[in-house]
Amino acid sequence: MEWTSLLFEEISILLQEAGQPSFRAKQLTEWLYQKAILDPTKMTNFSASLKDLLQSLGTFSLLEPVKVQESDDLETWKFLWKLQDGSLLESVLICSEKRRTVCVSSQVGCPARCAFCASGKLGLKRNLTTGEIVEQVLRIENFLHEKGESVNHIVYMGMGEPLENFDAVVKSLRILTDPKLFGLSQRHITLSTVGVIEGIRKLSLESFKINLALSLHAPNQNIRKKIIPYARKYDFNELMDAVDEYREITKRDITYEYTLISGINDGVEHAEELGKLLQFKHCTVNLIPYNPVAGLKLEKPDRGNISAFRDVLDEYEIAHTCRYTKGDDIAAACGQLALQETVC
């Protein structure tokens, strides 16, 4: 049993069944989620016998810190963890003005195999447990506490396709947004999907108000299938309908992620098609100039192409941003998580 996989009510029941008074659940969750302490020996208001009991009931630490890399911009950190089965995992912390955003992984590797992404080259190793997802946030929260800061945004944009690990991801969302636990606003959480239609529809029924980002990356199905092999599983129009339904149910605007790749999807004609596709929708397009990945023969578009692409979106009055690349010097930018370190 993993302590960081449990909701507050589950923790309460477990401790009561172990003969502990009801207030112990609040004490324990304060250590875990407000103080980000995962070592019971440091929980100073617990007796030695209670600490032994807690350790006998479940596991506190699932991630072993291996390495932390800081980028040259002093705003991005990449964390390498070792899991109990020896698998490796990466998470990223991005600091921008007052935002402290944790980019969490949901799988070891990724099944999507997008053409521009290093994680997909690994293939899927396994799903993460709820506790392994939550602990990424807690460990980085502890890292920030030393600076007098806290995590205030979370994006499920690390390794893996979140909606292919649906149950564990949904439970992690419940834990991270529960006011009795981590208590983060749902509006400060974004989940990115490559386009798992059944997952999008299930998520829309979960009573969340989290933000949804669709990794679109192309204005039509033909180009999208070349970039995203997963697209071959799903009809383009049906996917767009599922995203529209999510927006209608949750009332949250959609973000469309669009990686610009030179000569493939960065032309004015592609921008025109994208403009017609998204015109009048409640959305934002996040343009991401391709981040180089070793072994992939793709190129970043030049500034002129990016500017021309953005001009077309302006003509269609589509809100858009162009993501400033952070952490590319430590392979922590979008699409670059690839477990480059090895651990013996």
Q: Which of 95, 103, 114, 334 is catalytic?
A: 334
Together in a domain, 34 and 123: no
Q: Does 330 score more than 50 pLDDT?
A: no
Q: Does 115 score more than 80 pLDDT?
A: no
pLDDT digits (tens, 9 = 90+) for 173-185: 999 999 999 999 9
Together in a domain, 301 and 226: yes
Shortest CA distance to 192 belongs to which of 160, 225, 222, 219? 160
Residue 343's pLDDT is 37
Range of the domain at 145: 63-330
Task: Note whether residue 341 is domain-resident.
Answer: no
pLDDT digits (tens, 9 = 90+) for 247-264: 999 999 999 999 999 999
Residue 295's pLDDT is 72
Residue 103 and residue 158 in contact, taking contact as beta carbons nearer than 8 Å: yes
Task: Note whether residue 121 is domain-resident.
Answer: yes
pLDDT digits (tens, 9 = 90+) for 73-114: 888 999 999 999 999 999 999 999 999 999 999 999 998 877
Does the active-site annotation cover 334? yes
Burial class (CB in 10 A: 0-12, 13-18, 19+), 270: buried
Q: What is the CATH number of the domain that holds 40?
A: 1.10.150.530
Residue 325's pLDDT is 57
Together in a domain, 18 and 78: no
pLDDT digits (tens, 9 = 90+) for 124-153: 999 999 999 999 999 999 999 999 999 999
pLDDT digits (tens, 9 = 90+) for 279-301: 999 999 999 999 877 777 789 99
* Domain end (from 39, 57, 75): 57
Together in a domain, 90 and 197: yes
Together in a domain, 269 and 324: yes
pLDDT digits (tens, 9 = 90+) for 5-55: 999 999 999 999 999 999 999 999 999 999 999 999 999 999 999 999 999
Together in a domain, 74 and 50: no
Residue 297's pLDDT is 79
- Residues of 60-85 as b/e, b for ≥16 C-beta within 10 angstroms? bbbbeeeeebebeeeebbbbbbbbee
Per this entry, what is the length of the chain?
Answer: 344
**Cα–Cα distance measured from residue 206 to residue 229, given in angstroms and rounded to the nearest whole number:** 28
Residue 5's pLDDT is 98
Q: Does 335 score more than 50 pLDDT?
A: no
Domain count, the chain: 2
- Position 342 confidence tier, pLDDT thresholds 50, 70, 90: very low
Together in a domain, 12 and 93: no
Q: Does 338 score more than 80 pLDDT?
A: no
| Centroid of chain to Cα 11 | 25
Does the active-site annotation cover 114? no
Together in a domain, 27 and 161: no
Phi, psi of 137 (to 5 degrees): -65, -45
SS3 of residue 176 by DSSP: helix
pLDDT digits (tens, 9 = 90+) for 198-243: 999 999 999 999 999 999 999 999 999 999 998 999 999 999 999 9
Query: At a CB cut-off of 8 Å and minimum separation 6, what does 338 contact?
Result: 118, 119, 121, 122, 293, 331
Together in a domain, 31 and 158: no
* Domain end (from 11, 42, 57): 57
Task: Note whether residue 131 is domain-resident.
Answer: yes
User: In 146-233, which ranges are continuous DSSP H helix?
Assistant: 166-177, 197-204, 221-227
- For the residues 57-75, what does the mean pLDDT come to? 94
Together in a domain, 242 and 295: yes
pTM summary value: 0.91
- Position 344 confidence tier, pLDDT thresholds 50, 70, 90: very low
Report the first-to-last Cα separation within the chain, whole angstroms: 27
Q: What is the CATH number of the domain that holds 170?
A: 3.20.20.70
- Position 67 confidence tier, pLDDT thresholds 50, 70, 90: very high
Mean pLDDT rounded to a whole number for the chain: 92
Together in a domain, 21 and 69: no
**Cα–Cα distance measured from residue 45 to residue 43, given in angstroms and rounded to the nearest whole number:** 6
Q: Which of 70, 90, 146, 206 is catalytic?
A: 90
Together in a domain, 269 and 323: yes
Residue 102 and residue 151 in contact, taking contact as beta carbons nearer than 8 Å: yes
Report helix, strand and coil shares of the chain as percent, to nearest 5: 40, 20, 40
Q: Does 333 score more than 80 pLDDT?
A: no
